[in-house]
Structure 1
Amino acid sequence: MKILILNEAKQASESGSKERRCAVSPSSVMRLSRKNVEILVETGAGVSSHYSDSELKEAGASIIDDVNGAVSDIDALICVNRPPADIITKLKPGTLIVGHIDPFFQQPLVTQLSESGMTTISVEMIPRSSRAQKMDALSSQASLAGYVMVMQAATHLPSILPMMMTPSGTIKPAKVFIIGAGVAGLQAIATAKRLGANVLAYDTRPVVAEQVESLGGKFLKIDIGETGQTKDGYAKELTEEQKQKLQDAQRDAITSSDIVITTAQLFGRKPPVLITKNTLEMMKPGSVVVDMAAQSGGNVEGSVPGETVDVNGVKVIGTGNWSQQVARAATDMYANNIFNLLDEFLDDESGTFNLDLEDDILAGCVITHDGNIINDMLKSAYEGA
């Protein structure tokens, strides 16, 4: 099997930012090479995550300057994000493409991949099962995002997070309120707690209360009627009445906090608005709000995708690309996810990828194959659009 890794830092995203992560690390290259996998890496692909071409070459990769001459001969294109449209046209039918495709909001791209005969794995669609945990890139990157959001908030807060007792007086610990206790939220809770803050958290799924408390946080109990989670562990969408009750009940917690971090994202749908401009205006000057979902629609009215803005003295952070702020760790984790995904289905002797569409993992994450869009959830979403 011959795979190609692009230098994604050369490709500006829709927001104008550049990708800092790489789809392989020296460690993953070494392990893949032992399984009869040939790895071609475009020059400079690992530089932004602080892995030099020489390190990747020493691990077993071939470094190439011009990918155009190689794309027609590869078996797989492994990306962090979406593959460039001009590259897709040069791939042979049946090429395996892996990356963050964002398929629910990229119908034209998915259609192109299908019509070009590509076999596409969208890492966002990897099931949240015990067996698939080691290849769950969405969770690994979200965990880093939770850490980064707390650190960014701390740098903008005009105070400190821990309690500090000094001869000149005592500084009270900062109050941190985290909305959403998924992977990112739980990591944010753990990070803020380690830094000495008082942490309060809320999630529409009461089942996560125990997890919040095990990390040292307090769980805010709000009765908004029947809630729950999907079979994949995502929060179910709330009714309009429930959303209003939730906003009203959370207002006191938000306005009394020094830092608020929102992590509510709905799989395949736009995120809910959790903090209105009216609530922002009630917050103390100097407070900080981090909107994890700013780039996909936003949890906070007034957040700006890719920017940090001041709203009546409150800093609202919507910079996004959270895991890229710790690009080396993010690369290591993503590269491990990719290795585990490939390794699960590689034939050790021939190095070929066994595309078993009856397998529960591949059945969930393969979205195009043999000229068709084959994921039922995606087809339903497109038909209803």
Structure 2
Amino acid sequence: MTVSIAVAKETAAGEKRVAMVPKVAAKLTKLDVTLTVAQGAGEGSRIPDESYDEPVLLSGQTDEIYTANVVLAVNAPEVEQINKMKKGSVLISFVQGHNNPDVVEALQNNGITCFAMELIPRISRAQSMDALSSQANAAGYKAALIAANALERFLPMLTTAAGTIRPAKVLVIGAGVAGLQAIATAGRLGAKVYGYDVRTDTKEQVESLGAEFLVAKGVKAEAEGGYARELTDDEKAQQQQMLVDNMADADAVITTAAVPGKPAPRIVSQAMVEAMKPGAVLVDLAAAGGGNCELTKPDEIVTHGSVTIHGPSNVPSLLAEHASEMYAQNVLNFLQLIVVEEEGQDDVKPGEKKHKLAFDWDDEILAKSVLTRDGELVNETVKAALGAASEARDVEKKA
């Protein structure tokens, strides 16, 4: 039986991405699958329905989309939509199960095998499927542009007849994928860029992009031989004070620190914001997780004193075209692990071979990215997070 795959239209407010773009869809259909795209699914990414060429099918029937063997989405569908899915079918999307207990429960109740894109392990073999990284690249790039646009100053050094304008100072906190992309983009725009991360082993990556890695005076980030080492409590205190001092001197600060499955770490206090120079800008990429800054409000622009704080919660959607393209390729690469050739086709030409859904649970990528399976929540991290949240609610009720 041919595997049926359907692409859902996103329903989350402000979401412009789509899980499959035309050029990647053309590759997917070569796997002997039936691919159906919901009508209007690509509108937010400026992809009209007619851009999907045959043999891709278009459907305006929601039931037809959610009864496919495999449903692809950027964000997890709503409970009502999950309830339309067939038992044993597959959902591939971002889920953020720790924040969506109702969705997880619906997946369990309906016997859906759900692979959460945010759970894909960060191992070499899974790099081409790492949607967190691909979307973080988009977020970091856009964050630098948001900061540049919000500043009422030039970023690069300019020599004019009216005199020389010194380059703006941009401080990026967090040297993960998003942070490194923000550093690179701000540098290309001509700013003087500084990078900070509690993981001192990121120093080389930050400096390779032309930025200065911030380390408190007297604190050495490396042990003998150039390897990173753990900082002492005193050194950590020096680092924090160094961060405060550099924030006060920065024109723009971009924060990118996030911990999967947990609230974003609070790094920037109100006092630190109040110490920033007049007209400075802070862009908080961790807004959706509660924010790295205690003054951040998701999807709002807050003015505190003379400092402007931006808290966009879905930055990749602001670059919907390329963010969708990268995500679709991540999904295609993942699908090739579960849409496999049927046995006994040695004499059949490659383009004519039949495929089926199959799961090798000994494969680290599948084993770690599966969220629900056979009616059970199988990811221990999400299970623990939901359990802790449930206990906290019980305590509040008793109080």
Q: TM-score over 0.5 for the alignment?
A: yes
Residues in 2 aligned to 1:240 and 1:37: alpha-carbon distance in whole angstroms = 57
Residues in 1 aligned to 2:232 and 2:77: alpha-carbon distance in whole angstroms = 36
Residues in 1 aligned to 2:324 and 2:387: alpha-carbon distance in whole angstroms = 35
Cα shift at 1:247: 3.9
Cα shift at 1:144: 0.7
Letter of the aligned partner of 2:37 in structure 1? V
Residues in 1 aligned to 2:20 and 2:297: alpha-carbon distance in whole angstroms = 31
Cα shift at 1:226: 12
Residues in 2 aligned to 1:225 and 1:114: alpha-carbon distance in whole angstroms = 50
Q: What's 1:373 paired with?
A: 377
Does residue 300 of the first structure (1) align with residue 296 of the second (2)? no
Of 67, 80, 104, the match for 1:86: 80
Q: What's 2:344 paired with?
A: none
Q: What's 1:231 paired with?
A: none
Whether the 8 Å contact between 1:247 and 1:275 is mirrored in structure 2 is no
Cα shift at 1:384: 3.6
Count of residue pairs the alignment pairs up? 369
- Secondary structure at the aligned position of 1:260 is classed as strand
Does residue 26 of the first structure (1) align with residue 16 of the second (2)? no
- Secondary structure at the aligned position of 1:264 is classed as coil
Residues in 2 aligned to 1:80 and 1:239: alpha-carbon distance in whole angstroms = 42
- Secondary structure at the aligned position of 2:359 is classed as coil
- Secondary structure at the aligned position of 2:31 is classed as coil
For 1:242-279, what per-residue CA distance to the aligned partner results, in whole angstroms no more than 9, with x for missing partners?
A: 98765433111101000000000012111111111111
Q: What's 1:35 paired with?
A: 31
For 1:133-165, what per-residue CA distance to the aligned partner results, in whole angstroms no more than 9, with x for missing partners?
A: 000000000011000000011001011111001
Cα shift at 1:353: 2.5
Q: What's 1:324 paired with?
A: 317
Of 92, 108, 116, the match for 2:102: 108
- Secondary structure at the aligned position of 1:24 is classed as coil
Relative to structure 1, the CA distance from residue 224 to residue 180 in structure 2 (aligned partners, 3 Å threshold; closer, same or farther) is: farther
Residues in 2 aligned to 1:295 and 1:257: alpha-carbon distance in whole angstroms = 24
Does residue 127 of the first structure (1) align with residue 117 of the second (2)? no
Residues in 2 aligned to 1:118 and 1:351: alpha-carbon distance in whole angstroms = 20
- Secondary structure at the aligned position of 1:319 is classed as coil
User: Rg bigger for which structure?
Assistant: 2
Residues in 2 aligned to 1:259 and 1:77: alpha-carbon distance in whole angstroms = 41
Whether the 8 Å contact between 2:174 and 2:197 is mirrored in structure 1 is yes
Q: What's 1:177 paired with?
A: 171
Which consecutive unaligned segments of at least 5 residues does structure 1 have? 229-235
For normalisation by structure 2, the TM-score amounts to 0.88
Cα shift at 1:115: 2.1
Whether the 8 Å contact between 2:70 and 2:89 is mirrored in structure 1 is yes
Letter of the aligned partner of 1:64 in structure 2? S
Relative to structure 1, the CA distance from residue 317 to residue 200 in structure 2 (aligned partners, 3 Å threshold; closer, same or farther) is: same
Relative to structure 1, the CA distance from residue 307 to residue 59 in structure 2 (aligned partners, 3 Å threshold; closer, same or farther) is: farther
Of 359, 371, 383, the match for 1:355: 359
- Secondary structure at the aligned position of 2:320 is classed as helix
Whether the 8 Å contact between 2:184 and 2:209 is mirrored in structure 1 is yes
Relative to structure 1, the CA distance from residue 156 to residue 356 in structure 2 (aligned partners, 3 Å threshold; closer, same or farther) is: same
Letter of the aligned partner of 2:66 in structure 1? V
Which consecutive unaligned segments of at least 5 residues does structure 2 have? 223-229, 342-352, 390-399
- Secondary structure at the aligned position of 1:274 is classed as coil
- Secondary structure at the aligned position of 1:80 is classed as strand
Q: What's 1:3 paired with?
A: 5
Q: What's 2:337 paired with?
A: 344
Relative to structure 1, the CA distance from residue 280 to residue 50 in structure 2 (aligned partners, 3 Å threshold; closer, same or farther) is: same
Whether the 8 Å contact between 1:342 and 1:353 is mirrored in structure 2 is no
Of 117, 135, 140, the match for 1:146: 140
Q: What's 1:66 paired with?
A: 61
Residues in 2 aligned to 1:225 and 1:240: alpha-carbon distance in whole angstroms = 11
Cα shift at 1:297: 0.6
- Bigger Cα displacement from structure 2, 134-143 vs 293-302: 293-302
Residues in 2 aligned to 1:333 and 1:361: alpha-carbon distance in whole angstroms = 19
Relative to structure 1, the CA distance from residue 371 to residue 226 in structure 2 (aligned partners, 3 Å threshold; closer, same or farther) is: farther
Whether the 8 Å contact between 2:267 and 2:293 is mirrored in structure 1 is yes
